[in-house]
Chains A and B, each alone.
Chain A
Amino acid sequence: MKRLLSHPSLVIGLVATLLFLALGLLSLVWTPYPIAQIDIPRRFLAPSAAHWLGTDNLGRDMMSLVMAGTWTSFLVAAVAVAIGVGVGVPLGLAAAAWGGAVEWVVLRLTDFVFAFPAVIAAILITTLVGPGAVNAIVAIGIFNIPVFARVARGGALSIATLDFVAAGRLAGLGNTLIAWRHLLPNVMSLIIVQGTIQMSLGILSEAGLSYIGLGTQPPETSLGLMLKDAQGVFLIHPWLTLVPGLAIVLIVIALNIAGDGLRDAIDPRLRQGNPNVLA
């Protein structure tokens, strides 16, 4: 723990991330105003003591919306990461442990899923079942699967040839146990680092999907949905665009800094960049 805390970027990124997360969590039990409370006479108010971030085009309190929206963003991105880890990591480990045909199938499968950027997946899902936050989760989650499968396989391959794995095999462990006892613990750090990267990408994707109407729907709110609501009036009231946009940027920067710090702290050898920074 002390070793982890000696990395300033990790501490800064983590603290900032946790602050936003706390703000989001708080919105579950308390927001300054109910987020669905429409109050047309009080719309487009500048920031004041009563409304810290002012009010939007429907007179809703921007602070409350940002808090609730932050929670949605975290939730969507986190569940999408969970889907990616839950399906992708076993696939990647299986590919490394079994090799041969299993590996071929997993690789082709990941290639295939890469052909479906989250937007395209979301388009198909929305056509099928209509828009909603769950769509965004599934669409981003599907896209996360090959990412984690590749990371897990890559990490596991470099370990699979080491002596302790061979010793495990001699001791009679099957592929499943090898993957579970030896490969998984050793790729955990890679997965955690990739997890923070996918978290930040997930938050950006959720914003994009909600902005074009394929994600979160009212009366729920998200930072992307706030930007969608502001679209019609942003030339006259730029404030409504600046607030949720800046919130997204700050959260993503916090997560990225935490991720970079985590990577340096866990494994200094990984410091040389990561190609998986694609949006």
Chain B
Amino acid sequence: MIAFTLRRFLGFAATLLVAALVIFWLLDLLPGDPAQFILGINATPESVARLRVQMGLDAPAHERFLAWIWGMLQGDFGMSYTQRAPVAELIWARLAVTLPLSIFAMVISIVVGLPLGILAARRRGKLLDTAIMVTAQTGVAIPNFWFGMLLTLLFAVTLRWLPPGGFTPWNEDGGAAFRGLILPSLALALPQASILARVMRTALVDVTGQDYIRTARAKGLTMGEAVWRHGVRNALLPVLTILGLQFAYLVAGTIIVENVFYLPGLGRLIFTAISERDLILVRGATIILIVTVTATMLLTDIAYALVDPRLRERSAP
């Protein structure tokens, strides 16, 4: 297990390093000089050159790359030159919206999707199964941001139960902050819950045909008990993989949904940074997103191996 974890961790580190290299290389290609940008077009060449030295822009590319990586390992993501603040601080403040949003959405999709999947599998071929699967089929086809707009129309405009958008910081009014995230997390959760319900149903139907369920039945368990005690646990394996991937893409998906509700999350930070050509900020924010995606996949792999010892021996899935 230790060897497995270590191998996976090395893979994780390698992926991140290459990703950082790609991002650095791509953004380094861009025309435009940050020093010139900060000082404006009327700056003298001398002052621009002086600032370049000050910002370390005159160093060769590989030195700047290593300095960037080394800085990030110590929590220093550089200074944003449009917001005149440390990138790490800016990102951290936005994660207070993006992370809770992703987690709420994930929790909702698990709480709704898994029971529906189990229910559909237990009533396989019945009306309830068909109803759940048709709903799930529709759920995966609905763009989450459009669903967000519909939710706003219903709950914020017509019923006036929840705010249509905007965000109150947690330390000002925790309850209001939470209420602001309800509709966005529902919007994000819909397609995820639909996928989970489908995967859970398929996995459970697969498992129900296995010998150990028959053995459990032969030992005197009812079908319900056998499925609950032996089936669900085994069926959770494929579901776990999906969950990991889903969380990773949820974090990326929040970027789009934040726009519907005018939430000050990571996505809106990135868009401002793009339009103002704040490359240091774009660089820091994208690498944080990629770290989140890869770290989630790493944790999923390890969790999977913990639950299923058969997987520890094989390196490739």
A interface list, Cβ under 8 A from B: 107-108, 111-112, 114-120, 123-124, 126-128, 200, 204, 207-208, 211-213, 224, 227, 231, 234-235, 238, 241, 245, 248-249, 252-253, 256-257, 272-273, 275, 277-279
Q: How far is the CB of A235 from chain B (nearest CB, A)?
A: 6
Identify 12 residue pairs between A and B in the complex whose beta-carbon atoms are under 8 Å apart, listed by A's number: A119-B256, A120-B286, A120-B289, A127-B274, A204-B143, A207-B143, A212-B255, A227-B143, A234-B152, A241-B153, A248-B146, A252-B141
Contact in complex: A278, B246 (CB < 8 Å): yes
Contact in complex: B146, A241 (CB < 8 Å): yes
Q: How far is the CB of B280 from chain A (nearest CB, A)?
A: 12
Q: Known contacts being A123-B274, A212-B255, A212-B267, is A275 close to B238, with CB within 8 Å? A: yes
Contact with A along B5-40 (1 / 0, CB 8 A): 000000100110011000100110110000000000
Of residues 232 to 287 in B, which have CB atoms within 8 Å of A's CB atoms? 238, 241-242, 245-246, 248-249, 252-253, 255-256, 259-260, 267, 270-271, 274, 277, 279, 282, 286
Distance between Cα atoms of A231 and B152 in the complex (Å):
11
Starting from the known contacts A124-B286, A279-B144, 9 additional A-B residue pairs (CB-CB under 8 Å) come to A117-B252, A120-B293, A127-B282, A128-B26, A241-B149, A248-B143, A249-B141, A277-B195, A278-B195
Contact in complex: A256, B141 (CB < 8 Å): yes
Contact in complex: A115, B271 (CB < 8 Å): no
Is B297 an interface residue when CB atoms closer than 8 A count as contact?
yes
Measured between beta carbons, the chain B residues less than 8 angstroms from A224 are 143
Contact in complex: A123, B270 (CB < 8 Å): yes
Contact with A along B192-208 (1 / 0, CB 8 A): 00010011011101100
Distance between Cα atoms of A59 and B201 in the complex (Å):
47
Distance between Cα atoms of A126 and B14 in the complex (Å):
25
Contact in complex: A235, B199 (CB < 8 Å): no
Q: How far is the CB of B203 from chain A (nearest CB, A)?
A: 8
Contact in complex: B242, A117 (CB < 8 Å): no
Distance between Cα atoms of A257 and B286 in the complex (Å):
35
Distance between Cα atoms of A29 and B33 in the complex (Å):
45
Q: Known contacts being A123-B274, A127-B30, is A115 close to B195, with CB within 8 Å? A: no
Distance between Cα atoms of A166 and B190 in the complex (Å):
48
Q: Known contacts being A107-B316, A119-B255, is A253 close to B141, with CB within 8 Å? A: yes
Distance between Cα atoms of A224 and B260 in the complex (Å):
13
Measured between beta carbons, the chain A residues less than 8 angstroms from B256 are 119, 208, 211-212
Is B168 an interface residue when CB atoms closer than 8 A count as contact?
no
Measured between beta carbons, the chain A residues less than 8 angstroms from B152 are 234-235
Q: Which one of A112, A227, A272 lies within 8 Å of B202 (CB-CB)?
A: A272
Measured between beta carbons, the chain B residues less than 8 angstroms from A211 are 143, 145, 256, 259
Contact in complex: B11, A111 (CB < 8 Å): yes
Distance between Cα atoms of A52 and B150 in the complex (Å):
22
Distance between Cα atoms of A266 and B277 in the complex (Å):
49
Q: How far is the CB of B148 from chain A (nearest CB, A)?
A: 10
Measured between beta carbons, the chain B residues less than 8 angstroms from A107 are 316
Distance between Cα atoms of A24 and B202 in the complex (Å):
35
Q: Which one of B238, B279, B297 lies within 8 Å of A127 (CB-CB)?
A: B279
Chain A residue with minimal CB distance to B141?
A252
Is B138 an interface residue when CB atoms closer than 8 A count as contact?
yes
Contact in complex: B198, A273 (CB < 8 Å): yes
Is B185 an interface residue when CB atoms closer than 8 A count as contact?
no
Distance between Cα atoms of A241 and B249 in the complex (Å):
25
Distance between Cα atoms of A126 and B206 in the complex (Å):
43
Measured between beta carbons, the chain B residues less than 8 angstroms from A120 are 252, 286, 289-290, 293
Q: Which one of B11, B29, B137, B253 lies within 8 Å of A279 (CB-CB)?
A: B253
Measured between beta carbons, the chain A residues less than 8 angstroms from B137 are 253, 256-257
Q: How far is the CB of B100 from chain A (nearest CB, A)?
A: 19
Q: How far is the CB of A8 from chain B (nearest CB, A)?
A: 14
Q: Which one of A119, A245, A273, A279 lies within 8 Å of B146 (CB-CB)?
A: A245
Measured between beta carbons, the chain A residues less than 8 angstroms from B241 are 275
Chain B residue with minimal CB distance to A117?
B252
Contact in complex: B238, A126 (CB < 8 Å): no
Contact in complex: B153, A117 (CB < 8 Å): no
Distance between Cα atoms of A72 and B144 in the complex (Å):
20
Find the residue from A118, A124, A127 having the highest chain B CB count within 10 A.
A127
- The 8 A-B residue pairs with the shortest CB-CB distance in the complex, in nearest-first order: A273-B202, A252-B141, A117-B252, A245-B146, A253-B141, A119-B252, A208-B256, A115-B294
Contact in complex: B271, A124 (CB < 8 Å): no
Distance between Cα atoms of A278 and B246 in the complex (Å):
7
Contact in complex: A212, B259 (CB < 8 Å): yes
